[in-house]
Amino acid sequence: MSAPAESPHPAASARIPPKLGGAAASGAAAPAGPGPAPHQQNGPAQNQMHVPSGYGLHPQNYIAPSGHYPQGPGKMTSLPLDSQCGDYYSGLYIVPTQNVVTPNTANQQPGAQQMYGRGPPAPHIVGSTPGPFQGAASSASHLHTSASQPYSPFVNHYSSPAMYSANSSVASQGFPSTCGHYAMSTVSNAAYPSVSYPSLPAGDPYGQQMFTSQNAPTVRPVRDNSFSGHSTAISHSSPLPPPPSHQYHQQQSLSGCSTLSWSASGLPSTQDNLLRNHGGSLATANSNPTNTVADSLSCPVMQNVQPLKSSPVVSSVLSGASSTRTPPAANRPVEPVASVTQPSELLQQKGVDSSSTTSSASPVPNSYDALEGGSYPDMLSSSASSPAPDPAPEPDPAPASAPTAPQPSKMAKPFGYGYPTLQPGYQNATAPLNSGVPPSSPVYSGFQQYAQYPGMNQLSSSLGGLSLQSSPQPESLRPVNLTQERNILPMTPVWAPVPNLNLDLKKLNCSPDSFRCTLTNIPQTQALLNKAKLPLGLLLHPFRDLTQLPVITSNTIVRCRSCRTYINPFVSFIDQRRWKCNLCYRVNDVPEEFMYNPLTRSYGEPHKRPEVQNSTVEFIASSDYMLRPPQPAVYLFVLDVSHNAVEAGYLTILCQSLLENLDKLPGDSRTRIGFMTFDSTIHFYNLQEGLSQPQMLIVSDIDDVFLPTPDSLLVNLYESKELIKDLLNALPNMFTNTRETHSALGPALQAAFKLMSPTGGRVSVFQTQLPSLGAGLLQSREDPNQRSSTKVVQHLGPATDFYKKLALDCSGQQTAVDLFLLSSQYSDLASLACMSKYSAGCIYYYPSFHYTHNPSQAEKLQKDLKRYLTRKIGFEAVMRIRCTKGLSMHTFHGNFFVRSTDLLSLANINPDAGFAVQLSIEENLTDTSLVCFQTALLYTSSKGERRIRVHTLCLPVVSSLADVYAGVDVQAAICLLANMAVDRSISSSLSDARDALVNAVVDSLSAYGSTVSNLQHSALIAPSSLKLFPLYVLALLKQKAFRTGTSTRLDDRVYAMCQIKCQPLVHLMKMIHPNLYRIDRLTDEGAIHVNDRVVPQPPLQKLSAEKLTREGAFLMDCGSVFYIWIGKSCDNNFIEDVLGYPNFASVPQKMTHLPELDTLSSERARSFITWLRDNRPLSPVLHVVKDESPAKTEFFQHLIEDRTEAAFSYYEFLLHIQQQICK
Amino acid sequence: MAFTFAAFCYMLSLVLCAALIFFAIWHIIAFDELRTDFKSPIDQCNPVHALVLPEYSIHSLFCIMFLCAQEWLTLGLNVPLLFYHFWRYFHCPADSSELAYDPPAVMNADTLSYCQKEAWCKLAFYLLSFFYYLYCMIYTLVSS
């Protein structure tokens, strides 16, 4: 296997006790800041030199890197002066994706990864724009073409004085760094909404530093392009609340920002500043004005709510404010004042505020531990345990905050659902932040509580004005009475909660699309976790298509010497020469090479290196990371050509797709390809260059398979291209008259394994029936009468271990087997799937596939194949997941082979593979305030490069149950539970798994009810963060994988289970809980602009027939399929304008395309659907379902809130849960 | 002092018990190597599998011998483990040839720790029974 570097770590012997670090860190957080100050100020100071000198300086900066560039990575030649950075620069050239707007467009996949990275071999001329970067160059021309700039990618995004000037008017000179930065984002948003600025070249973090000042670490460009759409949405002032997960984004894009309101991320940000502002004075200055304004604004509302002292009110506002993790639902009854807020702008304002204070007041210590390790624990302990005055020395920024600060500890206790152990920042930030806020939801919640529990009033007054509401309570903890809340589903998609970290870390943290944890607040002890009754685990999507990814070539990849963790943004630099690992706390030396930052061309700023500025980076690995030379891309297609297969006609589609995409197959000049077909015998194809036509070799001895010729079965794609094309053209017709009905899949796989084992690579198996000959033959195990049985569902496990063993052998030889099952009958997917499960392959299933009778499946196969053939691929991969000492991983989910306790062996890795990991807490995490998780994926790219992609996620540790509930990521939790339930149903039984799912809800809600809320036990109360939990679990229970009572074919069920195991979270959520939109009245209100198209954003509807009206048309997005349901009396205008038929009756039963009509509503509908499609790799097939057509059951089975003959409706389910809890 | 069948049984089981102790130690080492990453589960599970069947059959042989020798107490002590072995052998889902240790599943931390615990318990059991057999052997030799 290929991971020497990933291999055994010596025991962590030289650990520095964390306390030591904490102590050092607390020094850093002290206002006087004497401790770490010297060196930290050092860096920024240098930077400041750049800034005042004005924008005029920039060209120089740009030129500097471009000068080095031509050296190309890895070529450590020439120019002695530059040698240190020459090898480094390849990191900057993530260029070709620049024009890509939607990250997942299939076409662009291959290019995306392979084109960047290496500079072209030749260009040593300074200033030439090398070929691969033309994309960048062209996008640069969107703005100003600046001929003077030698290297256009840089030009493109540092673009232009225009931005700066535009922006400098907004922000004062006092904090140039921020304004420079904000300017950039604004402009880019405005200038080309479609090419939103995340798609900037990877270089930007570095570039940024050139003109940013002290707070360079905080100011960073958005790393994730996939949200470009949303970001633009925001700047266009849509009524949609912004996805909270992208707050860092929004904060950076400064817009009008005169609106006053609260913002979640604003809170922590200011808080950070406060903590950080040793000077303090400036912060006060900055925040006070807002504060006063704010107060005056908010008071009227607030006083209604509570005629108590003003300070409590303040903090209650805060509670809402701090909660913005979940976008405020728009449908709340009480919508105070101007509260259809556009948090985006508000956020931005906060962002500006905060960063400006930061920048002007003091240097930002880069080592977060200096902040976190020191101040956090102090604060935590003080607020959690002792009423003693907080000795923490951070300055009180605003006078108003003085009274509030001590309160939480006192008053949170008496009533369960306070938020007693709030992060210090919340408390501090209270005053400055509740500024100007007519907060919608929080106020409402105040109302609600007030109304519901009048007793509270007395209680609170008896407490001397410390009312319940005054305890800061985040939105995510707002109790929701599930049985009374009718519209539990928010109008906009649910976003991942943002971990409650300080702003610096929040910005640095890994994108939730790649890395999510079910609990964004990690409980301190296993006991606490047990009390919460929530699953703890990670959801990974490590090889996701990224449009912006820093690639780093460097001689030494800096890693912890004891645990081999890669250096990441969350390590702390003790001084310039040493850094402390954030996973094992070992102190390591900073290597000499790391001291030099080639972009700033400065020495001694290790904390500004890209590795430390990005939580997702990719390293080009040296030969230390190889056990053998990187393998070429090798593809083998194993095709079923029995009668059944020829009948179904998939060969035509496959060969056509292959012919079209032959040049787009990822690979380099060494790429090899081969074909095998099988029925009762196995056919090989000799494609050796020089032959006049492909030669077919038949092996009929299936009991002892051998390869007819040693070589020339896998041939070089480019040398034998003509022969390959000939073969592909001939294949569909070669077997048309076959009468062979048997299928010797097992022997064919054995042959494929033999063929592949010298190199490894990818085997794509197309199978259309039960294998009936030779090794691995299977019998039909499905009893059709049992399909809708409510009791036992058998045969979910494999019937034979042949396929598993074969997969393990393949995995050992770095070969992955991908299965395409196109079958009209039962084919025992449960057994066949093993070949992909353990070899890290993927599984596609097309029930009742027929190329003419079932055109929608044929279309789906075609689209899937296109994606499949052209998407990125990594070979001979291993993935290691590390986590902070004290946590341990115990179960993995996905398609892979577990090589060791934390190492997954992946013969292939593809961008659509997701993984899940269950965690447990082995040692108490009392001595740390943060935990980190790191996945390192070591793979060989299709270009034969060894690369390591590293993601690092950082999460806070909490000690109170309320905080644990506040941080639940309900979607991640559901996906993890689904994975666990699949395991359970295979190892035990389906009904066990179903019970376990229901128990998960019952346990967690009853645990919440008994420990945290303490309110009414008669009502079903859930924290706001968990309010969707019962709904999602119900959806899971009605999912094909777990449903009972409804007729479900065994293969369908098993396929759903396979998908649950290997789909990444985003796709899985759509599969579990589809999105329903009403599309007959699309408007441009709140539309976003993507790629010069206007994309309407209709609100989400709940999945219930009550939302369907006969007059409407609805679109359901199930991830892999779209349904458009047309009501019986749907508006004829819609049918005519969008569907192209005069009336409802004339719409055909099977319709899979929307015609391109030149009407506004058609354009809107199509752009909306295209937008939905572009967001995912598997392009879903569209079905137009007429009301009354037989296909409507397909549609209606997804309406999970409704009652079916075999399952609860949502309300009944809630009652059932309530009953269980009361038991 | 007479050399009875029972005495012979104890002597034989003494020797075989030493082998079982060796097997148990071998298991422990194997799982420990797995845990510390030194070996791939595929490489490791195959030799472990090779030992499972001999272990089970040796232990069954004990029970049969003690049954024949009418050593009820000793038999009683061994019967629970015998049943456990039977359960283990027949309760492996689907793939009987893989026996207890399935390479893809064995790295699951729960499974691994279970296997380790099992190996330690068996080691303890075999060690104790080794001395018990020794004692019984001498006792039967002396008493009869």
- Least Cα separation, residue B135 to chain A (angstroms): 42
Considering only CB atoms, B109 lies closest to which of A798, A804, A901, namely A901
Note the helical H segments in A30-122.
Answer: 37-50, 58-68, 83-86, 109-115
At A813-839, the pLDDT tens digits run 999 999 999 988 899 999 999 999 999
Q: Which residues of B touch A814 (CB under 8 A)?
A: none
Residue A348: pLDDT over 60: no
Residue A295: name the closest of A400, A396, A395 by CA.
A400
- Least Cα separation, residue A8 to chain B (angstroms): 6
* Contact status of A888 with chain B (Cβ, < 8 Å): yes
**Which secondary structure element, helix H or strand E, spans residue A882, and what is its range?**
strand A874-883
Considering only CB atoms, B110 lies closest to which of A8, A891, A899, namely A891
What pLDDT, on a 0 to 100 scale, did the predictor assign at position A474?
67
Task: Round to whole Å and give the CA distance between A728 and A732.
Answer: 7
The verdict on a CB contact (< 8 Å) between B109 and A890 is yes
Q: Map residue A1040 onto helix, strand or coil.
A: coil
A453/A1066: higher pLDDT: A1066
User: Structure tokens of A33?
Assistant: 């800041």
Residue A402: pLDDT over 60: no
ipTM at complex level:
0.83
Considering only CB atoms, B93 lies closest to which of A797, A888, A900, namely A797
- Mean pLDDT of the A859-867 span: 90
What pLDDT, on a 0 to 100 scale, did the predictor assign at position A931?
92
At B84-135, the pLDDT tens digits run 988 887 766 444 445 557 777 777 777 888 888 999 999 999 999 999 999 9
Residue A673: name the closest of A711, A635, A707, A637 by CA.
A635
* Contact status of A663 with chain B (Cβ, < 8 Å): no
Task: Round to whole Å and give the CA distance between B71 and A481.
Answer: 67
Q: Give the pLDDT band (50/70/90) at residue A1190.
A: confident
The verdict on a CB contact (< 8 Å) between A797 and B36 is no
Q: Give the pLDDT band (50/70/90) at residue A977.
A: very high
At A659-696, the pLDDT tens digits run 999 999 999 999 999 999 999 999 999 998 888 889 99
Q: Which residues of A touch B98 (CB under 8 A)?
A: 801
Best-predicted range by mean pLDDT among A63-77, A525-539, A1014-1028? A525-539
The verdict on a CB contact (< 8 Å) between B94 and A798 is yes
Residue A1155: pLDDT over 80: yes
Return the C-alpha torsion angle A107, A112, A113, A115, nearest 10.
110
Radius of gyration for the alpha carbons in chain B, expressed in angstroms and rounded: 17
- Least Cα separation, residue B43 to chain A (angstroms): 10
Task: Round to whole Å and give the CA distance between A998 and A1037.
Answer: 9
Q: Give the pLDDT band (50/70/90) at residue A626.
A: confident
- Least Cα separation, residue B126 to chain A (angstroms): 29
Q: Give the pLDDT band (50/70/90) at residue A1013.
A: low
**What value, to the nearest 5°, has the Cα angle with vertex A1159 and ends A1157 and A1160?**
130
A715/A461: higher pLDDT: A715
- Least Cα separation, residue A871 to chain B (angstroms): 27
Q: What DSSP character marks residue A225?
A: G
**What value, to the nearest 5°, has the Cα angle with vertex A826 and ends A824 and A827?**
100
CA atoms within 13 A on the CB side of A352: 28
The verdict on a CB contact (< 8 Å) between B41 and A899 is yes
Q: Please list, residue by residue across B39-55, b when 16 or more beta carbons sit within 10 angstroms of its beta carbon and e when fewer do.
A: ebbbebbeebbebbeeb
- Mean pLDDT of the A1123-1138 span: 86
Q: How many domains does chain B have?
A: 1
Q: What is the crossing angle of helices A1029-1037 and A1210-1222, to 10°?
A: 110
What pLDDT, on a 0 to 100 scale, did the predictor assign at position B125?
94
What pLDDT, on a 0 to 100 scale, did the predictor assign at position A178?
35
The verdict on a CB contact (< 8 Å) between A801 and B38 is no
Q: Map residue A891 onto helix, strand or coil.
A: strand
* Contact status of A891 with chain B (Cβ, < 8 Å): yes
Task: Round to whole Å and give the CA distance between A1146 and A1140.
Answer: 10
Q: What DSSP character marks residue A586?
A: B
Phi, psi of A1115 (to 5 degrees): -110, 125
At A27-48, the pLDDT tens digits run 333 333 333 333 333 333 333 3
Q: Which residues of B touch A889 (CB under 8 A)?
A: 109
- Least Cα separation, residue B109 to chain A (angstroms): 4
Best-predicted range by mean pLDDT among A215-229, A282-296, A938-952? A938-952
Please give the residue of chain A at the shortest CA–CA distance from B109. A890
Segments forming the whole domain that contains residue B26 = 5-93+102-143
Mean pLDDT of chain A: 68
A241-250, A543-552, A592-601, B3-12: which has the minimum mean pLDDT?
Answer: A241-250
Q: Give the pLDDT band (50/70/90) at residue A235.
A: very low
Q: Give the pLDDT band (50/70/90) at residue A1036.
A: very high
Note the helical H segments in A74-203.
Answer: 83-86, 109-115, 134-140, 152-157, 161-168, 176-191
Q: Which residues of A touch B42 (CB under 8 A)?
A: 808, 812, 897
B96/A653: higher pLDDT: A653
What pLDDT, on a 0 to 100 scale, did the predictor assign at position A658?
94
The verdict on a CB contact (< 8 Å) between B108 and A798 is no
- CB neighbour list of residue B14: distance below 8 Å, 6 or more residues apart: B130, B133, B134, B137
Residue A96: pLDDT over 80: no
Q: Give the pLDDT band (50/70/90) at residue A187.
A: very low
A365-379, A1058-1072, A1078-1092, A1197-1211: which has the minimum mean pLDDT?
Answer: A365-379
Residue A505: pLDDT over 70: yes
Measure Cα distances from A972 to A242, A538, A539, A913, A1069 in Å.
20, 8, 7, 16, 9
Please give the residue of chain A at the shortest CA–CA distance from B94. A799
**Which secondary structure element, helix H or strand E, spans residue A876, and what is its range?**
strand A874-883
Task: Round to whole Å and give the CA distance between A618 and A948.
Answer: 5
Residue A723: pLDDT over 80: yes
Q: Which residues of B touch A801 (CB under 8 A)?
A: 94-95, 97-98
Task: Round to whole Å and give the CA distance between A349 and A355.
Answer: 10
In a mutagenesis test of the A interface, which of B37, B49, B112 is the best target, namely the one with the most A β-carbons within 10 Å? Answer: B37
Q: Which residues of A touch B95 (CB under 8 A)?
A: 798, 800-801, 804
Q: Please list, residue by residue across A1138-1162, b when 16 or more beta carbons sit within 10 angstroms of its beta carbon and e when fewer do.
A: bbbbeebeebeeebeebeebeeebb
The verdict on a CB contact (< 8 Å) between B95 and A8 is no
Considering only CB atoms, A890 lies closest to which of B41, B42, B110, namely B110
Q: Give the pLDDT band (50/70/90) at residue A296.
A: very low
Q: Give the pLDDT band (50/70/90) at residue A771.
A: very high
- CB neighbour list of residue A1069: distance below 8 Å, 6 or more residues apart: A971, A974, A975
The verdict on a CB contact (< 8 Å) between B109 and A7 is no
Q: Which chain B residues have any C-beta within 8 angstroms of a chain A C-beta?
A: 34-38, 40-42, 93-95, 97-98, 103-104, 107-110, 112
Q: Map residue A485 onto helix, strand or coil.
A: coil
**Which secondary structure element, helix H or strand E, spans residue A255, and what is its range?**
none
Q: How far apart are the first and last CA of chain B?
A: 5
* Contact status of A988 with chain B (Cβ, < 8 Å): no
Task: Round to whole Å and give the CA distance between A139 and A536.
Answer: 43
The verdict on a CB contact (< 8 Å) between B35 and A901 is yes
Note the helical H segments in A1013-1124.
Answer: 1029-1037, 1050-1062, 1065-1072
The verdict on a CB contact (< 8 Å) between A898 and B35 is no
Pair A483, A341: CB distance under 8 Å = no
Residue A981: name the closest of A1026, A1033, A1028, A1031 by CA.
A1033
- Least Cα separation, residue B33 to chain A (angstroms): 10
Phi, psi of A705 (to 5 degrees): -70, 140
Q: Give the pLDDT band (50/70/90) at residue A316.
A: very low
Q: What DSSP character marks residue A243?
A: P
Please give the residue of chain B at the shortest CA–CA distance from A10. B36
Q: Which residues of A touch B93 (CB under 8 A)?
A: 797, 987
Considering only CB atoms, B97 lies closest to which of A1, A801, A812, namely A801
The verdict on a CB contact (< 8 Å) between A891 and B107 is no
In a mutagenesis test of the B interface, which of A627, A778, A808, A839 is the best target, namely the one with the most B β-carbons within 10 Å? Answer: A808
* Cβ–Cβ pairs < 8 A, chains A and B: 59
A413/A1098: higher pLDDT: A1098
What pLDDT, on a 0 to 100 scale, did the predictor assign at position B100?
58
Counting residues of chain A whose pLDDT is more than 90, the rounded percentage is 26
* Binding-face residues of A in 821-880 toward B, CB within 8 A: 838
A421-425, A729-733, A1016-1020: which has the minimum mean pLDDT?
Answer: A421-425
Pair A971, A520: CB distance under 8 Å = no
- Least Cα separation, residue B113 to chain A (angstroms): 10
What pLDDT, on a 0 to 100 scale, did the predictor assign at position A472?
52
* Contact status of A46 with chain B (Cβ, < 8 Å): no
The verdict on a CB contact (< 8 Å) between B42 and A903 is no
- Mean pLDDT of the A473-484 span: 76
- Give A130-163 as a DSSP string: -GGGHHHHHHHTTS---TT-S-HHHHHHS--HHH
- CB neighbour list of residue A1043: distance below 8 Å, 6 or more residues apart: A1037, A1206, A1207
pTM > 0.80: yes or no: no
Q: Which residues of B touch A888 (CB under 8 A)?
A: 109
The verdict on a CB contact (< 8 Å) between B98 and A812 is no
Considering only CB atoms, B37 lies closest to which of A891, A900, A987, namely A900
Considering only CB atoms, A888 lies closest to which of B95, B104, B109, namely B109
What pLDDT, on a 0 to 100 scale, did the predictor assign at position A933?
94
Phi, psi of A1104 (to 5 degrees): -145, 145
- Give A926-970 as a DSSP string: TT-SEEEEEEEEEEEETTS-EEEEEEEEEEEEE-SHHHHHHTB-H
